[in-house]
Amino acid sequence: MKALGISYKNAPVSVREKFSLDEKKCSEIRRGLGPAVVLCTCNRTEIYFTSAAVGDAAALLSGISGTDSITEYLRTYEGESALRHLFRVACGIDSMILGEDEILRQVKSAYSEAAVNGSTDFELNTAFQAAMTCAKRVKTETELSKTPVSAATIAANEASKLGDSVNILMIGASGKIGSATLKNLLPHRNVHITQTARVHSAGTVQYDGVRTVPYDRRYEEADSADCIISATASPHFTVTAGKLKAALRTEKPRLLIDLAVPPDIERTVTEIVGVRLIGIDDLGELARHNNELRMTAAEQAELIINEELDGLRKRLAFHRFMPELDTVRAAASQLTFEELIYRLRDGLDGAQFEAVLDVMRGLE
């Protein structure tokens, strides 16, 4: 298996937003590469594939994203390094917020979309299923996700710390990240939430104590808000500096939190008196302390990944060996047991040969 892509580790949000792929573009990539899974989140856009050349995959990603040069941002993986990378991504070890739960759902969704459309093969199926199984083990057997920390939880915590009574305007509450943020806000007794809803939107959920207003009234609600959170999939700004400044009549501290890629909130809102903006990349800094506390659990997770990877390697190796089984069986039948042992001794390194002998001892 091979993998390539960009992530928060080597590309700022201004670059990552160019690689925010919709389903049509993901489908185009899968058709162009043969067996492939496309994973696209706020913090990464990656392609996992088996047949195409790495250079062809990079060129296709560059062309579809409309970006001429991605070499300085691109990371590539092949063979075992690609498998290990997938496992670390699925387990949340490679996430900006260490151990986040949301990434596993995103991996499942990307794999399911590819599988349903016939874009996977034995290796991709086996690798992704093993990675998801490993992620479940990490969640169950370590403390990494016992106290979930995600962009949604950090955003909710930051908003709730603003005072004894905090008015929050939530834009994009019907989306995955927006709804997760809203759910994380609800347990905080000091917050008063107003969510926006587009006309005829079927995705808006009504919660007790949460006001719902039309999306077009967002600027009217902005003046009374202490915090505005936006998490939509819109290609355009949901909050612009000019319209927000015109709408604000009360001068007071305000926190704006932008959870979208591409950004929902125009960066120049910070020029408005009292306005502070937190973007998706800023959440990584806010999560740093949490990540440090989770490092011990992450080390335990790496051990689980090693165990699960070993099992995956065996399954893939055996699958590749199956077409040769009859031929090898016939050849081995011409050898005495001692001759076979000597062949193994001469063809393996010391550790491998000792492992074979240990297996044979177990046959007694």
Residues noted as catalytic: 42
Start-to-end CA span in the chain (Å) = 38
Q: 3-class DSSP state for residue 256?
A: strand
Cβ contact 238:263 at 8 Å: no
Instruction: Supply the DSSP symbol for 175.
Output: S
Name the CA radius of gyration of the chain, rounded.
Answer: 25
Angle 234-249-259 (CA atoms, 0-180°, nearest 5)?
A: 25
3-state SS string for 106-151: HHHHHHHHHHHCCCCCHHHHHHHHHHHHHHHHHHHHCCCCCCCCCH
Angle 86-88-89 (CA atoms, 0-180°, nearest 5)?
A: 65
> What is the distance of C-alpha 130 from the center of its chain?
17
- Written as one letter, the residue type at 215 is Y
Element spanning 297, H or E: helix 295-321
Sequence-distant (6+) residues with CB within 8 A of 142 are 297, 300, 301, 304
**Of the candidates 214, 222, 266, which has an alpha carbon nearest to the alpha carbon of residue 240?**
266
In the block, tokens 């003046």 appear at 223
Cβ contact 82:48 at 8 Å: yes
Tell me how far apart the alpha carbons of residues 151 and 43 are, in angstroms, rounded to a whole number.
11
Element spanning 227, H or E: strand 227-230
Q: 3-class DSSP state for residue 179?
A: helix
DSSP 43-56: SEEEEEESSS-HHH
